[in-house]
């Protein structure tokens, strides 16, 4: 039997390269100088057309399709590296998928919007199942991995308030999530805001606990009670509250945006819980004040109020030089006339504080807070060996601004007088604390005051062009911040026996009632007994209908409404 002859002489194929092994099909960049791989021979024969490569007339090696098990392996590896396809809408019949896993009781949107893993505040989503914050929703984002690891699928974007299902990636358009969107960023209409002080309203949280919008507790994280009382008081100043509830501050600095959000949450009638947390605003204040005001160290409410109003004035577009350029100055800023004269040491001077008109220097200054000085506390004890706690009427300490009684200030004698027009709201700081090189002292004098009808006309410079002479200027009390000294249990360290506790008393205009608030505790109080505590900061609001006087050509006046 003769041997079968080869189809081609061996000398034609002896220089052929060995066939390259099979590799997984991955998208690598092709090398320009690489030699094309030669596929394995079929039935032991190598044809010339398979040796020509890309320049030949036959098929190239990259176009050859292999059969067998290796092809299945290549397909599996290719599907493993391919990006998942994001759905634009849920499958038919699955529009409410995963919505039953949402737990509204664990949702708390008061804390700063930072990713719990990367600590980034960019593109933050909140998991509606556990309440944690994560960054992004793409295939490599923290929220995407959380959805796969924990089987939590529903997320809300904290900026756009849109709700998505992950890992599928489609947006949920269900109306059943509108309550969550409202809690994230409460928004009331102009009509609803106008009814806040006219119609009494009662709401209930998720635990069926009753609360009154505007009179909710505020969480004391550690030592931020000084902050809580100031924010509660400012949120009840009507023109300031209405501005921050209705204006669009999305292009303003974070200080204005976060204060606006906190005020709207205080007045939220559809809240999930009956208290709010100031953590988000506190973090911004700590950053802007260079750690001067934090949530871990207690500060003075008046110091914080002065810093906060001035920085909030700039945050809403106010000017540093032009008065009345923002809502802050329009509500609180007034004008004060200061007359000063140097004290001269003369032997025949009967009264060292008597003014000589020839040497008086007059200065006009603006103010946000008026400081009221208390008379010195008594040094002696009564028959029961207890210190006498004196009382002084508010009108007595307001005489500082009558423009008649001089005071000694360093080397000058000074007297003060308010100028027309008075601002819509007056802030009184009753000065109780004084410091020297050795000790810090507190004056416990009780200040008695009415809750309505405080006449400020005796302390204002008469100006017939602004206000009719002799007519009263009525102010009503809105908020009263009080101080209480509480003894510590451990008084081993001398000088640390007392700690400061700050409370605020707020008026509910719709019911004509008063509420006392200390952090999370809210209780009703009687208006007749508000003065029995140590008042430290008061907010008085001008009664409407007393904005000024417009004169016509005949000299007759007409009061503006």
Q: What is the pLDDT of residues 49-101, one digit of tens each?
A: 443 444 444 443 434 334 434 444 444 444 444 556 667 666 655 566 789 89
Say which range, 238-242, 402-406, 503-507, has the weakest mean pLDDT.
402-406
pLDDT of residue 465: 86
Q: Please, which pLDDT band fits residue 321 given cuts at 50, 70 and 90?
A: confident
Given a contact cutoff of 8 angstroms between Cβ atoms, the answer to whether 560 and 549 are in contact is yes
Three-state secondary structure string covering 37-63: CCCCCECCECCHHHHCHHHCCCCCHHH
Say which range, 92-106, 131-145, 393-407, has the weakest mean pLDDT.
92-106
Q: What is the mean pLDDT of residues 499-517?
A: 93
Per-residue pLDDT at 458 exceeds 70: yes
What are the structural domains, with CATH classification, of the chain? 99-183 (3.30.40.10), 186-308 (3.90.70.10), 334-367+369-559 (3.90.70.10)
Strand partners, 334: 367
Tokens of 467: 């206000």
- Average pLDDT score over the chain: 81
Given a contact cutoff of 8 angstroms between Cβ atoms, the answer to whether 306 and 368 are in contact is yes
Per-residue pLDDT at 539 exceeds 90: yes
Q: What is the mean pLDDT of residues 498-510?
A: 92
What distance in Å separates the CA atoms of residue 158 and residue 131, rounded to the nearest whole number?
Answer: 12
For the ranges 84-98, 456-470, 546-560, the maximum mean pLDDT occurs at: 456-470
The per-residue pLDDT for range 360-394, each reduced to its tens digit, is 888 999 999 999 999 887 776 665 555 578 889 99
**What 3-state DSSP class applies to 545?**
coil
Q: What is the mean pLDDT of residues 465-469?
A: 85
pLDDT of residue 546: 65
pLDDT of residue 529: 87
What distance in Å separates the CA atoms of residue 210 and residue 457, rounded to the nearest whole number?
Answer: 42
Report how far Cα 91 is from the mean position of its chain's Cα atoms: 39
Q: With left for phi above 0 and alpha for psi between -120 and 50, is residue 319 left, alpha or beta?
A: beta
Phi and psi of 146, rounded to 5°? -65, -40
The Cβ of residue 107 has, within 10 Å, a number of other Cβ atoms equal to: 20
Q: What is the mean pLDDT of residues 149-158?
A: 94
What distance in Å separates the CA atoms of residue 503 and residue 501, rounded to the nearest whole number?
Answer: 7
What distance in Å separates the CA atoms of residue 8 and residue 46, rounded to the nearest whole number?
Answer: 9
Place of tokens 């959805």: 147
CA distances from 426 to 180, 230, 233, 329, 335 (A): 38, 14, 12, 11, 11
Alpha-carbon Rg for the chain, nearest whole angstrom, is 38
Say which range, 241-245, 246-250, 340-344, has the weakest mean pLDDT.
340-344
- Name the DSSP letter for residue 411: T
pLDDT of residue 90: 65
Tokens of 15: 């220089």
Closest CA to 449 of 424, 482, 425: 482
Tokens of 451: 């809750």
Element (H, E) at 78: helix 69-81
Q: What is the mean pLDDT of residues 479-483?
A: 95
Percent over 90 (pLDDT), the chain:
55
Phi and psi of 80, rounded to 5°? -75, -30
Percent over 70 (pLDDT), the chain:
74
Predicted model pTM: 0.78
pLDDT of residue 70: 43
pLDDT of residue 352: 59
pLDDT of residue 85: 64
pLDDT of residue 75: 45
Tokens of 462: 């008469």
Given a contact cutoff of 8 angstroms between Cβ atoms, the answer to whether 477 and 540 are in contact is yes
Q: With left for phi above 0 and alpha for psi between -120 and 50, is residue 55 left, alpha or beta?
A: alpha
**How many helical (H) and strand (E) elements, i.e. helices and strands, does the chain have?**
12, 27
Given a contact cutoff of 8 angstroms between Cβ atoms, the answer to whether 302 and 370 are in contact is no
Report how far Cα 449 is from the mean position of its chain's Cα atoms: 33
The per-residue pLDDT for range 250-269, each reduced to its tens digit, is 999 999 999 999 999 999 99
pLDDT of residue 469: 85
Given a contact cutoff of 8 angstroms between Cβ atoms, the answer to whether 245 and 263 are in contact is yes
């Amino acid at each position: 039997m003769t041997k079968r002859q080869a189809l081609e002489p061996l000398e034609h194929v002896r220089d052929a390269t060995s066939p390259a092994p099979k590799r997984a099909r991955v998208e690598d960049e092709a090398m320009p100088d690489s030699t094309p791989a030669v596929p394995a021979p079929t039935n032991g024969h190598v044809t010339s057309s398979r040796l020509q490569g890309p320049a030949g007339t036959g098929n190239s090696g990259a176009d050859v399709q292999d059969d067998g098990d290796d092809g299945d392996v290549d397909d599996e590896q290719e599907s493993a590296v391919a990006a998942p396809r994001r759905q634009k809408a849920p499958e038919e019949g699955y529009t409410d998928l995963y919505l039953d896993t949402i737990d509204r009781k664990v949702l708390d949107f008061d804390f700063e919007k930072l990713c719990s893993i990367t600590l980034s505040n960019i593109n933050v989503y909140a998991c509606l199942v556990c309440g944690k914050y994560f960054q992004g929703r793409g295939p490599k984002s923290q929220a995407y991995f959380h959805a796969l690891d924990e089987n939590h699928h529903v997320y809300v974007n904290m900026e756009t308030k849109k709700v998505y299902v992950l890992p599928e990636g489609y947006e949920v358009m269900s109306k059943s999530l509108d309550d969550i969107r409202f809690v994230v960023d409460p928004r009331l209409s102009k009509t609803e805001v106008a009814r806040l002080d006219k119609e009494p309203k009662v709401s209930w949280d998720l635990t069926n606990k009753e609360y009154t919008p505007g009179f909710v507790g505020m969480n004391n994280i550690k030592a931020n009670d000084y902050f809580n009382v100031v924010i509660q008081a400012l949120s009840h100043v009507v023109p300031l509250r209405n501005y921050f509830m209705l204006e669009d501050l999305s292009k303003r600095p974070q200080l204005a945006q976060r204060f606006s959000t906190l005020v709207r949450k205080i007045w939220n009638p559809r809240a999930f819980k009956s208290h709010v947390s100031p953590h988000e605003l506190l973090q911004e204040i700590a950053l802007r004040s260079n750690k001067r005001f934090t949530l871990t160290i207690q500060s003075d409410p008046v110091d914080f109020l002065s810093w906060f109003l001035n920085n909030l004035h700039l945050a809403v577009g106010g000017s540093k030089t032009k008065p009345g350029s923002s809502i802050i100055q329009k509500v609180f800023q007034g004008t004060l006339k200061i007359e000063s004269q140097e004290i001269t040491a003369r032997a025949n001077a009967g009264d060292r504080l008597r003014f000589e008109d020839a040497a008086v220097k007059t200065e006009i200054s603006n103010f946000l807070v008026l400081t009221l000085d208390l008379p010195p506390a008594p040094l002696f004890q009564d028959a029961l060996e207890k210190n006498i706690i004196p009382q002084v009427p508010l009108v007595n300490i307001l005489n500082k601004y009558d423009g008649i009684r001089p005071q000694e200030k360093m080397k000058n004698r000074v007297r003060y007088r308010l100028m027309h027009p008075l601002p819509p709201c007056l802030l009184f700081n009753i000065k109780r604390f004084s410091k020297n090189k050795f000790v810090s002292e507190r004056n416990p004098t009780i200040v008695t005051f009415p809750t309505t009808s405080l006449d400020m006309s005796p302390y204002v410079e008469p100006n017939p062009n602004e206000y009719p002479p002799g007519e009263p200027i009525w102010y009503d009390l809105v908020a009263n911040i009080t101080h209480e000294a509480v003894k510590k249990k451990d008084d081993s360290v001398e000088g640390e026996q007392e700690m400061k506790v700050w409370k605020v008393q707020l008026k509910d205009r719709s019911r004509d009632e008063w509420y006392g608030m200390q952090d999370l505790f809210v209780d009703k109080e009687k208006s007749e007994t508000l003065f029995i505590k140590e008042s430290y900061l008061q907010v008085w609001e001008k009664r409407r209908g007393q904005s000024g006087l417009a004169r016509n050509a005949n000299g007759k006046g007409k009061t503006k409404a």
